[in-house]
């Protein structure tokens, strides 16, 4: 019975031909389920599957929409979907948009149910339930954070029956971004911080901790300080939260950047604060053939942007993350300038499998679209750079800790202290942090969000003739289209430009 109920909770049918916000057909209540620790664990583990969706899931969809940034580009020009994502011409029936919308709201539905079940159960042992309740708040906040950054105004649902929004409206109007931040995301993260343990329940970097919730909160704050809200008082909050993690948290930078991307070390929590784990048998990633170049007989869905590559300093990160020459299937050595696409290939994830003889560090056995590894979401390096950026904005200049944070990332990148920053104006310091964040997190699906909140989309990609003519002062390209079927069923007006 418990297994049957759990399957109902995590398997609501959501397809493009139905209302994606429809009321789920099956409900769980304290009267219909016994909340043992095993049941709570099963339900909470279901949140990861909800976020993942199906097939390559979350990993594939965020990668495709990240093509809108300037660190990677679409290599296979015959794959129209990726090319349109890359050129900011995302159609209203785009599969990546539709599926991400589905995954995120499915996660929200399940989190709402877990939160309600625990909070409405008077007999539950809070010493057991708190960590699962905190995890549900964390995933709901994370899901809404992605939603407001991808689509802006959106339905705000906390009702476990999914029948009304936060104001009791049954027609589910799109709520302003500010409301979703202030009435859902921030309260949920404060709850998560209070309820989650300091150590992961699974002793790895996937199950979130109180520190992971604080990291997410610092990112939320610095995003609220930028576009579209531009509430600059949140820079101080971002700096304060990041400083707490830096000074009191259990994290550090690993010695070698490349060790972060070894499959055997994917669960390490020295630097990875929160990530999604993948195996071939459960929630696989898409780092295999999709990241191989044409000369390697791959799909070359994603390659490095050549302009970003040329601006990348010659450090250990650049050396590890890119393939600049390869031997083609006929045995010919080819340099990246002569690759068919004229762009370097992505090496960063090749230890995760699926690359055949083009894998690295011995992981070379299989060619496949499926791979292992992780989807990185937050690392300690992010926290260091959030603090550096936020305190510089909040105080009108960097303090000593800001320089230390920025230079810790810089020192590891070069393997020495000979490239440190010093004596910069506030403007030059902001530029340095901006660049360092892009290089440090190259291909980690974060660059687009950075470009948007700092209003640098035009500066970063506007010189591309396929994109520049469509950018405008109203920043219509900063948001993706709401799935067209959803707009038709709910009577919404889509985002400007779509």
Bridge partners (DSSP) listed for residue 345:
323
* Cβ atoms of 99 and 61 closer than 8 Å: yes
What DSSP element (H or E) covers 274? strand 272-277
3-class SS shares of the chain: helix, strand, coil, % to 5: 50, 5, 45
The yes-or-no verdict on residue 418 having pLDDT over 80 is yes
Measured in whole angstroms, the distance separating CA 264 from the mean position of its chain's CA atoms is 22
> Residue 8's pLDDT is what?
31
* Cβ atoms of 382 and 226 closer than 8 Å: no
Distance CA 87, CA 3 (A): 45
Residue written as token pair 């550096």: 388
State the chain's mean pLDDT as an integer. 90
> Residue 35's pLDDT is what?
84
Give the HSE-up count for residue 351: Cα atoms under 13 Å, Cβ half-sphere. Answer: 16
The phi, psi pair for 456, rounded to 5°, reads -120, 20
Residues 325-348 pLDDT 10s? 998 878 889 999 999 999 999 999
Other beta carbons within 10 Å of 120: 12
* Cβ atoms of 393 and 431 closer than 8 Å: no
CATH 1.25.40.390 residue ranges in the chain? 2-196+481-490
Distance CA 35, CA 40 (A): 6
The yes-or-no verdict on residue 14 having pLDDT over 50 is no
> Residue 43's pLDDT is what?
95
> Residue 16's pLDDT is what?
34
Helix, strand or coil for residue 69?
coil
Residues 129-171 pLDDT 10s? 999 999 999 999 999 999 999 999 999 999 999 899 999 999 9
Helix, strand or coil for residue 180?
helix
Helix, strand or coil for residue 268?
coil
Helix, strand or coil for residue 206?
coil
Distance CA 440, CA 321 (A): 10
Structure tokens at 281: 């048998």
> Residue 39's pLDDT is what?
93
Least confident span in 86-90, 115-119, 211-215, 481-485: 86-90
The topology (CATH level 3) of 2-196+481-490 is 1.25.40
The better pLDDT of the pair 299, 472 is held by 299
pTM of the model: 0.93
Distance CA 179, CA 159 (A): 16
* Cβ atoms of 147 and 194 closer than 8 Å: no
> Residue 25's pLDDT is what?
43
> Residue 473's pLDDT is what?
66
Residues 223-278 pLDDT 10s? 999 999 999 999 999 999 999 999 999 999 999 999 999 999 999 999 999 999 99
What are the distances in angstroms from CA 422 to CA 154, 174, 220, 239, 471?
Answer: 43, 46, 28, 20, 35
> Residue 476's pLDDT is what?
83
What are the distances in angstroms from CA 450 to CA 130, 295, 434, 497?
Answer: 33, 32, 8, 21
pLDDT band (50, 70, 90) for residue 465: low
> Residue 17's pLDDT is what?
38
pLDDT above 90 covers what percent of the chain?
A: 74
What DSSP element (H or E) covers 427? helix 426-440
Please classify residue 32 by burial: count the beta carbons closer than 10 Å to its beta carbon, then call 0-12 exposed, 13-18 middle and 19+ buried.
exposed
């Amino acid at each position: 019975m418990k297994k049957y109920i759990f399957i109902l909770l995590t398997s609501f049918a959501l397809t493009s031909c139905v209302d994606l916000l429809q009321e789920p057909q099956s409900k769980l209540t304290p009267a219909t389920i016994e909340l043992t620790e095993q049941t709570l664990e099963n339900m909470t583990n279901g949140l990861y599957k909800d976020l993942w969706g199906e097939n390559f899931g979350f990993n594939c969809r965020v990668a495709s929409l990240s093509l809108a940034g300037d660190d990677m580009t679409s290599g296979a020009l015959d794959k129209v979907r990726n090319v349109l994502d890359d050129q900011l011409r995302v159609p209203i029936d785009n599969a990546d948009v539709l599926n991400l919308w589905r995954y995120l709201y499915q996660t929200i539905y399940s989190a709402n149910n877990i939160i309600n079940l625990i909070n409405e159960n008077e007999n539950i042992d809070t010493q057991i339930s708190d960590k699962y309740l905190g995890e549900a708040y964390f995933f709901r906040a994370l899901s809404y954070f992605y939603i407001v950054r991808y689509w802006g105004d959106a339905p705000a649902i906390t009702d476990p029956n999914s029948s009304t929004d936060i104001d009791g409206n049954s027609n589910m109007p799109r709520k302003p971004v500010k409301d979703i931040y202030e009435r859902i995301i921030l309260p949920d993260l404060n709850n998560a911080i209070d309820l989650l343990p300091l150590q992961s329940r699974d002793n790895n970097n996937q199950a979130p901790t109180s520190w992971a919730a604080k990291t997410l909160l610092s990112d939320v704050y610095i995003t609220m300080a930028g576009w579209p809200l531009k509430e600059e008082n949140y820079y101080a909050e971002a700096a304060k939260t990041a400083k707490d993690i830096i000074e009191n948290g259990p994290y550090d930078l690993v010695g070698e950047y490349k060790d972060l991307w070894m499959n055997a070390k994917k669960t390490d929590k020295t630097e990875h604060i929160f990530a999604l784990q993948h195996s071939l048998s459960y929630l696989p990633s898409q780092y295999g053939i999709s990241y191989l170049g044409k000369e390697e007989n791959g799909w070359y869905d994603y390659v490095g942007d050549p302009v970003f590559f040329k601006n990348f300093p010659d450090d250990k990160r650049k050396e590890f993350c890119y393939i600049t020459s390869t031997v083609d299937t006929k045995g010919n050595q080819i340099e990246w300038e002569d690759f068919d696409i004229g762009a370097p290939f992505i090496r960063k994830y090749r230890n995760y499998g699926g690359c055949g003889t083009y894998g690295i560090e011995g992981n070379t056995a299989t060619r496949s679209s499926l791979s292992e590894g992780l989807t990185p979401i937050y690392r300690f390096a992010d926290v260091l750079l959030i603090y550096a950026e936020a305190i510089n904005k909040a105080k009108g200049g960097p303090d000593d800790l800001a320089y230390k944070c920025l230079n810790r990332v810089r020192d590891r990148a070069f393997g020495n202290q000979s490239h440190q920053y010093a004596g910069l104006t506030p403007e030059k310091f902001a530029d340095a942090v901006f660049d360092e964040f892009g290089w440090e997190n190259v291909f980690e699906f974060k660059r687009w969000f950075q470009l948007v909140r700092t209003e640098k989309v035009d500066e970063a990609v506007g010189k591309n003739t396929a994109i520049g003519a469509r950018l405008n002062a109203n920043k219509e390209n900063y948001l993706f289209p709401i799935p067209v079927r959803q707009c038709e069923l709910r009577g919404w007006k889509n985002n400007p430009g779509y």
